[in-house]
Amino acid sequence: MRRLRAALPALLAAAAGCAASAPDPGAVRRDSAGVAVVDNRAPRWARGREWRLDTARALPLEISEDDGAVFAVLPGGAFAVANDRGRIAWYDRRGKAKRGTVLPDSPAVGALLVRPAGGLIAWDADRLAAVEVDADGRPGVTRAYEAVLPRGSVVPLGALGDGSVLVSASDRAIFTPNPLPTRDTVPLLRLGPAGEHTRILTVPGPEEITVEVPGGPGIPGAIRSPAPFARNAFVAVSGDQVWVADALSGEMRAYDASGRLRTLVRAPVRGDSAAPEEVARLRQRLRLLARSSVPEQRQRVDSAIVVPATWPPFAALLAGARGELWAKAGTPPGRDARWNVFDATGRWLGEVRVPRSLELIALGDGYVIARRDDRLTLIPLET
């Protein structure tokens, strides 16, 4: 008993010291399938040490919207820009033009993708083809995929290590009436260097409602509309990892190039609270939509009206030059954006505030490229 009484003050002091220490920012473990589970409880940046946009040192880029605004950030900090007439220009990390080239047949470049091994891939949006460009700017092989891709909307997402291109390919021609928020599935296809294609993943699309409306004789009609504060899934390619941020589950997942789940990331990231007038306006819009539906669906649509109390936790996803991920939280129009930054392993670093006048386009090594008043600007990151 005497020993216990003597040890009690030391135990209490130790407990007090633990209570005063900083909270554990998170834990990483592996489940039975070997998937890394990253549970972030708090950001790792200490207050006052987070990244900031140094807008005082912003550099306007001499690149007009007509010249191009399809960006690719290169290893080492330089970047390249392509336009819809097949021209590619290279710039150093301060925005100074270095060289340029024009691709054969002047394709409409819808995306410019960085090959991890060096060089670029220019995506021909009209012909659904990938044009290889080496590190010196010389055009190479053109790989056409139009014959193997499904009909619908094809969006290039990034280039994987072997030069294959990851695209989403969705067919939204079928409208099945449903007054409750539903999500179509969107396949992710890996287009290989030899022209082959493989579906590696299927991700959920945005929340939408579809109501039946009166059509002509024997012709059914339907209206598809975004659900209030619709949750969507966003995809970004970083090296050989495919990151998916699902705003409905509030999780981010990393898959390898074959579609195997490797990392699951959780963090207490939240969208802004919805203002009462925003909720009321969306309820009224849905009621007007219900009135346009056929009588059998009118009551179902009206009774199914559900408006969330918050904006979605994820509204955009960008991959940085050093493997970091920036996930934008949902915010009302006209308010400063909140971008949550994760490192390449999924650790939550903290939040970067972006003024409402800026729209982030690309993330460089120590800088961002943003659109402001229809002008493209390079803004250093203060760390």
Structure confidence by residue, pLDDT tens digits, 143-183:
999 888 877 789 999 999 888 999 998 776 556 677 677 88
**What is the model's pLDDT at position 280?**
86
Q: What is the mean pLDDT of residues 223-234?
A: 86
Is the Cα torsion angle 237, 238, 241, 245 positive or negative in sign?
A: negative
**What is the model's pLDDT at position 183?**
85
The answer, yes or no, to whether residue 360 has pLDDT greater than 90, is yes
Q: Cα separation of 355 and 331, whole Å?
A: 12
Q: Cα separation of 199 and 164, whole Å?
A: 12
Task: Give the model's confidence band at 68: pLDDT under 50 very low, under 70 low, under 90 confident, else very high.
Answer: low
Question: Worst-scoring range by mean pLDDT, 4-13, 214-223, 323-332?
Answer: 4-13
More confident residue, 254 or 222: 254
Q: Cα separation of 360 and 111, whole Å?
A: 16
More confident residue, 245 or 18: 245
| 71 within 8 A of 79, measured Cβ to Cβ | yes
Is the Cα torsion angle 15, 20, 21, 25 positive or negative in sign?
A: positive
Q: Cα separation of 30 and 39, whole Å?
A: 11
The CA–CA distances, whole Å, from 29 to 32, 34, 246 equal: 10, 9, 21
> Three-state SS across the chain?
CHHHHHHHHHHHHHHHHHHHCCCCCEEEEECCCCCEEEEECCCCCCCCCCCEECHHHCEECCCCCCCCCEEEECCCCCEEEECCCCEEEEECCCCCEEEEEECCCCCCEEEEEECCCCCEEEEECCCCEEEEECCCCCEEEEEECCCCCCCCEEEEEEECCCCCEEEEEECCCCCCCEEEEEEEEEEEEEECCCCCEEEEEEEEEEEEEEEEECCCCCCCEEEEEECCCCCCEEEEEECCEEEEEECCCCEEEEECCCCCEEEEEECCCCCCECCHHHHHHHHHHHHHHHHCCCHHHHHHHHHCCCCCCECCCCCEEEECCCCCEEEECCCCCCCCEEEEEECCCCCEEEEEEECCCCEEEEECCCEEEEEECCEEEEEEEEC
Task: Give the model's confidence band at 303: pLDDT under 50 very low, under 70 low, under 90 confident, else very high.
Answer: low
Mean pLDDT, the chain, integer: 84
The answer, yes or no, to whether residue 6 has pLDDT greater than 50, is no
- Amino acid letter, residue 96: K
Q: Cα separation of 62 and 81, whole Å?
A: 11
Question: Worst-scoring range by mean pLDDT, 26-35, 138-147, 172-181?
Answer: 172-181
**What is the model's pLDDT at position 131?**
94
The CA–CA distances, whole Å, from 118 to 11, 124, 133, 258 equal: 58, 19, 9, 21
In sequence order, the 6+-apart residues with CB closer than 8 A to the CB of 10 are none
The answer, yes or no, to whether residue 7 has pLDDT greater than 60, is no
Query: Which two three-digit tokens encode residue 310?
Result: 């918050």
**What is the model's pLDDT at position 285?**
78
**What is the model's pLDDT at position 295?**
64
Task: Give the model's confidence band at 300: pLDDT under 50 very low, under 70 low, under 90 confident, else very high.
Answer: low
**What is the model's pLDDT at position 342?**
96
The answer, yes or no, to whether residue 301 has pLDDT greater than 70, is no
Q: Between the ranges 208-217, 287-296, 360-369, where is the mean pLDDT highest?
A: 360-369
The answer, yes or no, to whether residue 233 has pLDDT greater than 80, is yes
More confident residue, 229 or 343: 343
More confident residue, 161 or 43: 43
**What is the model's pLDDT at position 267?**
95
**Nearest residue to 116 via CA among 241, 263, 264:** 241
Tell me: the pLDDT tens digits for 318-342? 999 889 999 999 999 889 999 999 9
Query: Which two three-digit tokens encode residue 58?
Result: 């912003």
Is the Cα torsion angle 73, 74, 80, 82 positive or negative in sign?
A: negative
The answer, yes or no, to whether residue 5 has pLDDT greater than 50, is no
Q: Cα separation of 215 and 340, whole Å?
A: 46
Q: What is the mean pLDDT of residues 36-56?
A: 90
**What is the model's pLDDT at position 19?**
43
**What is the model's pLDDT at position 67?**
54
**Nearest residue to 305 via CA among 220, 237, 202, 227:** 227
Which domains occur in the chain, in start order?
A: 36-382 (2.120.10.30)
**What is the model's pLDDT at position 54?**
94
